[in-house]
Structure 1
Amino acid sequence: MKTLQTKTGFWILCMPIIVYSQVSEDLKPSQCVTKKSCGECVTIHPECGWCSAKDFDSDGSRRCDTIGNLIGKCPNKDIVHPNSKMEKLEDRHLSDTRTSEEDPVQIKPQKIKLKLKPKSPFSLNVEFRQAVDYPVDLYYLMDLSKSMEDDKDKLAALGNLLATTMGNITNNFHLGFGSFVDKIVMPYVSAIPEKLVEPCTNCAPPYGFKNHMPLSINTKQFEKQVKAASVSGNLDAPEGGFDAIMQAVVCHDHIAWRNKSRKILLFSSDSGFHHAGDGKLGGIVKPNDGLCYLDKYGNYNMSIHQDYPSLSHINMQVKRNKVNIIFAVTGDQFSIYERLSDQLEGSTVGRLENDSSNIVELVKGQYSKITSTVKLQDNARNEIIDIKYYSSCLGGQRRNTNECEGLKVGNSVSFEASIEVKKCPKNKAEWNQTVQIYPVGLNEALLIDLEIICECPCEKPWNEERNSDKCTHGNGTYQCGICRCYDGRSGKKCECDSKDADPTTVEAKCIFGNDTKSCSGRGICHCGICECFSRQNPQEKVTGKFCECDNFSCDRDEGQICSGPDHGTCECGECQCLSDWMGHACECRKTNETCVAPDSNKICSGHGECKCGTCECFESENQRYSGRFCEDCPTCPGLCEDLKECVQCLMFESGPLTTEECKNCTFIPVEINEAEVTESDQRLCVFRDDDDCKYKFVYKLDENEKPLVWVQRTKDCPEPINILAIVLGVIGGIVLVGLAFLLTWKLLTTLHDRREFAKFENERKMAKWDTGENPIYKQATTTFKNPTYGGK
């Protein structure tokens, strides 16, 4: 941001608090100069200022201009450039002790006064810290239709555990209980008299909503009230939960919500819900008005007279009363209430067991989820005020966010709120607004008393000079250095009589052609005559009857208007070139001398066109000339192919041409030792003849486009091949390879035999038997036994 300071180093306007502002868009010169009043001027862009000095614009100077342009021209005391400023009205420290007798403070600061100019963002630091033992009000709102009978019994048994668990979280805990069924009309409940008394076995008569137990520190009473409550019945599947939520939220005194507490509405059900419009099925057409209608017994007595509330209506009341809703629903309803939770500020949803046995853990988990997150919201009108939030939360990178998670009691989080006024409201009553920045679900907020700067101090009624003698014959009000003329008068000093003249006709005299701006937007229409603005650069002039001409908007070349004074001058937006120059910016010489090569007399070598002193070379499918003078043509085929046969014939007496045909060649080659390109317009040609000999020659075209040829006198021929040496070499190679294979085979065989013989000798020496006898041979033995002999 550019800091606006005078050349002497002091601020133009003093402010109690210096405000950081960021210019959101680049300043266009026309944004300032087209504004005719101080208020319009200073609010169009942060860098626009107004000079309120008397007769400042008598020489055509612009009262509305950038601060940089006004400094030095306008006296410092007369430069009007109101800046944003902020004053803290209430800035108490955040609460951090258990013994504080005052209401806990969790957001800082609490109240500020802010003066803000449009399009000048203001950065405000907002701190949040969750206080220890912050009061908690938990109101249990339960669906007591017949299907929830087992849940009621389980809740009664878990009542003390719920109170104990929440008591471990905070010492300042209140608990209440309410229930709901549905509207007592068809088709929601049966209209049969007996069913209205007992809709199901051992059931109580149906009802809309009942407050059984207001919020109280006596949590033991909760168990008694839950046991005493009777279930009821209805016909359709959806319940009247929206009626119950609305009454539980808005009936502040009946429910006994505390002003400074975290308000939690625990909604428990196993069914869906009716919403706005469903009441028409029962003949109920009156919309829900969002007011409290509980009688002295806690019963909702407008259930059959008002329709169900809408989702947006509930959300509005939830935001207004700072209530967090926890939806504890069974698994089959979870997805429905999850989508519902997305539409209600500060609400969450948890999965409830079929008998509500996990209600304590669910409440503990959802409460932890709510309290571990802080989310800042505001009530600013988006079409006028834009607020962006930035934070690094508990560490990490600073990012654009209004929400921080993972907080614990005692953690401090700092947010930067960037507040920007988009535009001045048309209604002056909206120039002063009260904006709240608040943490969702808490009845605490930062109050911003916002004053939108839409006019200059010198435009205030007490700074005006009515019937001023500074305006001709007192025909206007003098303010901010200019006259605001009365009806029938016009002009800088109200000197023009426009009483009998049509203002549109007078203004039309200052409009050029089909232009929509008076004096081309570069002057002031004074009594039907344009007075052109002066420029910051004294060399730049705006002229013409309608200020339509100038000497600075002509075409430029290399940054100079009309290529500089040596080439031409700018008159009414067009370059007037001197005699030797031409072109839109007088950048082109009228002569073609710069397009002719030093060693030629042809423009662009005859292969291009001279434009603005530069050659533009011709191009075709096969030829593309280049170079400063179009002297090069890398892609051109040339005359090599056309000349090669004549070169063979005339120089080497070879080639396809006969002696007669050779006489038709139109050039005489010149023998040289080495064919090389020595001049820029020469071409080297290399070919091979039928004997595979390479020959070279160089050519170029003379002034008459005839070839001049220089031929290298010797050809480069390959050495002749010795066939006999090749044959003998191949035979010798085959013999040597064969002998090598035989020797290798013989060597490997001999080594193998010797290894086997050595192994045999070693085994023979180690034998343990007579070598003359076979060790595996055994002679036969004969055994005789007398069968009659018994061994006696």
Structure 2
Amino acid sequence: MKLITFVLSLLILQTVTAQTSPKKEEFKPSANDCKGKTSCGECLEAGPNCAFCTAVGYDDQNIDRCDEIDNHAQCPPDQLMFPRSDLSKTEDFAVKDGEGVGNEPIQIRPQRIKLDIRQKDPNKFTMQFRLAENYPVDLYYLMDLSHSMKDDKNKLAELGNLIAADMKTITKDFKLGFGSFVDKVVMPYVSTHPNKTDGSPTRQSPCTGCAPPYGFKNELKLDIDTNKFAQQVRQAQVSGNLDSPEGGFDAIMQTVVCDGEIGWRNKSRRMVLFSTDAGFHFAGDGKLGGIVKPNDGICHLDNTGIYTQSTHQDYPSVSQIAAKIKEKNVNIIFAVTEDQVLKYSELSKFIPGSETGKLANDSSNIVKLVRTNYEKITSKVEMVATKLANTTVKFFSRCKSNVTKETNVCENLNIGDTVTFDVEIEVTKCPADSSKNDRKLVISPVGLGDQLEIDLKLLCQCECEKHGVANHTDCRGKGTAVCGTCECNPGFYGKNCVCSSGNVTSEEKEAECFMC
């Protein structure tokens, strides 16, 4: 009886101990992603630590050709395919201020990088951005010249030189241009009746003392002589239309895409000052006038500066405007009357690098609006990268603080301030088409022409794969020798292509093929 009691006590003790004692973690060897890859290219794609041995006969003793680099002690060094990611700066000029024509500022360093990169092997480097003094500024004033803006036009002519004088306290390299818009010359936007005797609007006289309407006109190409601006604004005539929204989107599109006609410089801060007291037509509204052809986003100005497709193409969409502004590195300031501020503020959320300001009834505050919104735009830098398939780009910066965080935006910058970004690039998957292994990645600040070009070479293929030898003796003349292995011709298989998929008749051949 005592023995039975002792055994039961021992069993209870073991059960309690098993329940209360911590379990030992089961040992799980780390996975080797290199194993099982039969070609050199597949091996490189398996992971950044995988290497491939091309020595003939290397795998005769059940040694994997593709394995982690540390497991290839038996492979001759000159036969080991293990390309490493490598970064080199090919253009690395110091940042500097602008000093006039021919001596442009540099705001980004480096300017060009060559990066050989393996799949799943993130590479990080540092880039610098400095807000330069005397950075060239091209300011194009795009004005609604419907009749309700008559007072604004007269005031603008007086303020042209003041705008230039104020901007020249910021930069010595400044150009000013001028364009105007009304709307599409079709019903129901404007009156198209050629002649009336009752005083109601006609095409030739939409309002008292008004010129015939038009879509958009480039009145003055960007020019360093700001006296021309005042002259051109005075000469421009107001016009009239029937409905409240205007054709401003047509005007914005042509202003942004017509590089030569407007006079945009390759390296300048491109700014459009858009002033109006009305809303805007957008894609789809053209159907009201029988215009169904979509806007093509291409420049269509004749030699007098008139937009020739106004009555043939629909208005652009918001997304088209946003895409072109981003592509052309243009900043827009929407200077609108109080009743339109909310509408354009909402629009601004979809237009990168844009701002909205309240315009006085006679535009008398335009000089202040330009400076205030210019400072808003220039006080912020936002880095963006072109999108490439299976390629991720991350930005890390301290901006003007002591804390590093993942961000591509730094704010509250002043002229002369420098910020650094740590940029991490990773290729997550190699392309199926090896011709796409070489590609270009561009990093640039929103609204500026400065950029860092990165020449990417994806290390997804071994050099030996490009130079296979057909019908090689190592492959019994029945296959192509590639990186120490055989790619057998149709009808043959096996490590050295010794096996035929045809009818086997001899015992000797059967025995040979059992070894394949």
Alpha-carbon shift at residue 365 of structure 1 (Å): 0.7
CA distance 1:528–1:405, shift in 2 (3 Å) = farther
Q: 2:360 aligns with which of 336, 340, 353?
A: 353
Alpha-carbon shift at residue 218 of structure 1 (Å): 1.3
- 2:502 equivalent to 1:496: no
CA distance in 2, matches of 1:335, 1:35: 60
Deviates more, 1:332-341 or 1:302-311: 332-341
1:239 maps to a residue whose letter is E
Q: Is the 8 A contact 1:183 1:207 kept in 2?
A: yes
Look up the match of 2:5: none
1:475 maps to a residue whose letter is K
| Percent identity (aligned) | 51
Which of 1 and 2 has greater Rg?
1
- 2:473 equivalent to 1:445: no
Alpha-carbon shift at residue 429 of structure 1 (Å): 2.4
Q: Is the 8 A contact 1:490 1:527 kept in 2?
A: no
Look up the match of 1:129: 130
CA distance 1:499–1:317, shift in 2 (3 Å) = farther
Look up the match of 1:421: 427
CA distance 1:425–1:189, shift in 2 (3 Å) = same
Look up the match of 1:388: 394
1:400 maps to a residue whose letter is E
1:459 maps to a residue whose letter is E
Consecutive unaligned residues in structure 1, runs of 5 or more: 1-25, 502-525, 532-792
Look up the match of 1:280: 287
CA distance 1:36–1:312, shift in 2 (3 Å) = same
1:266 maps to a residue whose letter is L
Alpha-carbon shift at residue 241 of structure 1 (Å): 0.8
Look up the match of 1:722: none
Q: Is the 8 A contact 2:97 2:134 kept in 1?
A: no
Equivalenced residues, count: 476
Look up the match of 2:51: 49
Alpha-carbon shift at residue 99 of structure 1 (Å): 6.5
Q: 2:408 aligns with which of 398, 402, 427?
A: 402
Q: Is the 8 A contact 1:27 1:45 kept in 2?
A: no
- 2:156 equivalent to 1:155: yes
2:191 maps to a residue whose letter is S
TM-score by length of 2: 0.88
CA distance in 2, matches of 1:139, 1:455: 50
Look up the match of 2:35: 33
CA distance 1:408–1:500, shift in 2 (3 Å) = farther
CA distance in 2, matches of 1:376, 1:38: 37
Alpha-carbon shift at residue 184 of structure 1 (Å): 0.2
Superposed, 1:553-702 pairs within 5 Å as: none
CA distance in 1, matches of 2:246, 2:381: 32
> What SS does structure 1 have at the residue aligned with 2:153?
helix
- 2:485 equivalent to 1:485: no
Alpha-carbon shift at residue 263 of structure 1 (Å): 0.7
- 2:330 equivalent to 1:323: yes
CA distance in 2, matches of 1:27, 1:124: 33
Superposed, 1:720-739 pairs within 5 Å as: none
CA distance in 1, matches of 2:172, 2:418: 21
Alpha-carbon shift at residue 275 of structure 1 (Å): 1.4
Look up the match of 2:14: none
CA deviation digits over 1:703-741, x for unaligned, max 9?
Answer: xxxxxxxxxxxxxxxxxxxxxxxxxxxxxxxxxxxxxxx
Q: Is the 8 A contact 2:333 2:357 kept in 1?
A: yes
Alpha-carbon shift at residue 167 of structure 1 (Å): 1.2
- 2:433 equivalent to 1:430: no
Look up the match of 2:314: 307
CA distance 1:86–1:267, shift in 2 (3 Å) = same
CA distance in 2, matches of 1:412, 1:73: 51
Q: 1:205 aligns with which of 200, 212, 217?
A: 212
> What SS does structure 1 have at the residue aligned with 2:273?
strand
> What SS does structure 2 have at the residue aligned with 1:336?
helix
TM-score by length of 1: 0.58
Structure with greater contact order relative to length (CA < 8 Å, sep ≥ 6): 2
Q: 1:196 aligns with which of 186, 195, 203?
A: 203
CA distance in 1, matches of 2:503, 2:92: 61
CA distance in 2, matches of 1:152, 1:138: 17
Look up the match of 1:456: 462
Alpha-carbon shift at residue 30 of structure 1 (Å): 5.2
**Displaced runs of 4 or more, over 6 A:** 526-529
CA distance in 2, matches of 1:147, 1:498: 87
- 2:168 equivalent to 1:164: no
Look up the match of 1:680: none
> What SS does structure 1 have at the residue aligned with 2:400?
coil
Look up the match of 2:71: 69
CA distance in 2, matches of 1:435, 1:527: 50
Look up the match of 2:18: none
CA deviation digits over 1:527-556, x for unaligned, max 9?
Answer: 688x9xxxxxxxxxxxxxxxxxxxxxxxxx
> What SS does structure 2 have at the residue aligned with 1:197?
coil
